[in-house]
C-alpha cells in the first residue's frame, strides 16, 4: 500500500501498482460472485469484473422485467449466469448487494438464508449495513462483511473502465470472519475498475456520501444553478445566455481546469476580472451555505435522512412519482435550453453526423 500526502495528512491507499489485476484474479479465482440487482451499479461492476476474468453471475427479480432484459442483452444467460435472487445467492461465495437502498428491507429475507459460513456480503454503500435497524440486515459472525464504494455513478464506473482509466473508490471491512476479507476487498476493488482505493468506515462512507449527494454533488449544485439562471432571466438575459453562463461554461471549460490541477489552476487560467470576482465572492457564498451544510450533516448523522429515504423510496408508486418530478425538471426552461445548447456543441454534431452516416451505410448494404 502507498502512503500519500493529502494536503498535509498522510493516508494509506491501494493502487494498481501495489495490487495489480493479476493478483486480484488469483485471489478471486475460486470465488463465484453474485451481483444482486441489475439497476445502477450492478451492470457496471458485473461487466467490468466479467471482462477482467472474474466468475460473475447475476441475481435479479424477474418481476423487474426491464432489468432482467438488460442483463440478457448484456450477455448474461438465464439458467447459466442469470438467476433469480435465491439461486444466485446459493451459488455464490461472495454476494454483492447492489439493489437500491430502499429495496434492501424487501430483498434481504431472500438473501439471508444463503449467507452461510465462509461467504462474504459486499456493499458499495454503507447504507444497508449502518442503518441495519431500518433495513433488517443481519448476518452471522462467520460471514465477511466488506465494502468497495466507487466515487461515481454506475455509468461513470463503466465509462472509465472502457476508457482504460480507473475511478476512485473507498473501502471498508466490517467483519473479517475468514481472514480473507482484506484480500477479497482489494481484489474486487481492482476488478470492478478502481484506479485507487482509500480507506474509510461504513459509518463515514454513508455519512459523507449522503451529505455529498444532497450537497455539492447534486442537490446544492442544481439549486445554485437554478438560482443564478432565474436571476439572469428575470433581468432580461436570454435563455441561451443564462444557460451558457450558468452551466455550459462550467461543464465544458472551467471544471475541466479544476480537474486537471485544482481550483487555483482554474483561477490562474481565467481573466483578472474573473479571478478577482471569484476570490471576493467565494467567502460570501461559503457564509451563506455553511448553515445549510451543518443542518444537512445533522439530518444525515441522526438517521432522519435515512428514514425519509426508506419511507419515500419504498412506496409502490415511487417510480411514477419520481418520473413526474424528473419530467418537470427536464421540461423546465433552463434544462430545455440546455438540450438546445448541447445539440450545438461541435463534437455532439459530429457524433450525430457520424451516426447518421453509419445508419445510411447500413441501409445501403442491406
Instruction: Count CB neighbours of 362 within 10 A.
Output: 9
Nearest C-alpha neighbor of 82 from the set 62, 96, 98, 103: 62
Q: Locate 349 and state its grid cell.
A: 454534431
Asked if 125 is an active-site residue, the reply is: yes
C-alpha cell at 79: 439458467
CB atoms within 10 A of CB 128: 26
Distance CA 199, CA 146 (A): 12
Distance in angstroms (rounded) separating the CA atoms of residues 55 and 34: 9
Give the separation between CA 137 and CA 131, rounded to whole angstroms: 8
Annotated active-site residue in 125, 204, 237, 347 = 125
Give the whole-angstrom CA distance, residue 28 versus residue 149: 18
| Beta-bridge partner residues of 147 | 123, 172
Point out the residues that are catalytic.
125
Amino acid at each position: 500500500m502507498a502512503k500519500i500526502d493529502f494536503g498535509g495528512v498522510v493516508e494509506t491507499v491501494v493502487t494498481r501498482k501495489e495490487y495489480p489485476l493479476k493478483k486480484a484474479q488469483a485471489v478471486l479465482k475460486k470465488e463465484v460472485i453474485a451481483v444482486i440487482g441489475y439497476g445502477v451499479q450492478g451492470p457496471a461492476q458485473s461487466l467490468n469484473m466479467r471482462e477482467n476474468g472474474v466468475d460473475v453471475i447475476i441475481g435479479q427479480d424477474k418481476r423487474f422485467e426491464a432489468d432482467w432484459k438488460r442483463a440478457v442483452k448484456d450477455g448474461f444467460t438465464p439458467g447459466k449466469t442469470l438467476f433469480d435472487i435465491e439461486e444466485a445467492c446459493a451459488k455464490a461465495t461472495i454476494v454483492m448487494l447492489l439493489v437500491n437502498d430502499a429495496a434492501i428491507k424487501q430483498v434481504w429475507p431472500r438473501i439471508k438464508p444463503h449467507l452461510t459460513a465462509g461467504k462474504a456480503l459486499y456493499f458499495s454503500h454503507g447504507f444497508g449495513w449502518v442503518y441495519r435497524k431500518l433495513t433488517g440486515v443481519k448476518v452471522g459472525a462467520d460471514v465477511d462483511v466488506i465494502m468497495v464504494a466507487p466515487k461515481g455513478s454506475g455509468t461513470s464506473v463503466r465509462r472509465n473502465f472502457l476508457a482504460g482509466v480507473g475511478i476512485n473508490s473507498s473501502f471498508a471491512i466490517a467483519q473479517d470472519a475468514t481472514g480473507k476479507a482484506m484480500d477479497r476487498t482489494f481484489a474486487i476493488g481492482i476488478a470492478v475498475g478502481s484506479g485507487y482505493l482509500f480507506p474509510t468506515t461504513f459509518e463515514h462512507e454513508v455519512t459523507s456520501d449522503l451529505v455529498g449527494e444532497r450537497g455539492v454533488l447534486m442537490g446544492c449544485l442544481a439549486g445554485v444553478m437554478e438560482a443564478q439562471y432565474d436571476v439572469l432571466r428575470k433581468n432580461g438575459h436570454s435563455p441561451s445566455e443564462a444557460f451558457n453562463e450558468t452551466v455550459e461554461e462550467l461543464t465544458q471549460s472551467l471544471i475541466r481546469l479544476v480537474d486537471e490541477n485544482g481550483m487555483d489552476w482554474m483561477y490562474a487560467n481565467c481573466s483578472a476580472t474573473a479571478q478577482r470576482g471569484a476570490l471576493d465572492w467565494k467567502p460570501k457564498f461559503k457564509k451563506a451555505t455553511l448553515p445549510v451544510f451543518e443542518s444537512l450533516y445533522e439530518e444525515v448523522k441522526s438517521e432522519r435522512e435515512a428514514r425519509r429515504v426508506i419511507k419515500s423510496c419504498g412506496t409502490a408508486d415511487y417510480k411514477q412519482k419520481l418520473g413526474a418530478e424528473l419530467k418537470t425538471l427536464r421540461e423546465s426552461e433552463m434544462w430545455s435550453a440546455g438540450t438546445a445548447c448541447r445539440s450545438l456543441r461541435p463534437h455532439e454534431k459530429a457524433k450525430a453526423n457520424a451516426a447518421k452516416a453509419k445508419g445510411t451505410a447500413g441501409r445501403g448494404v442491406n
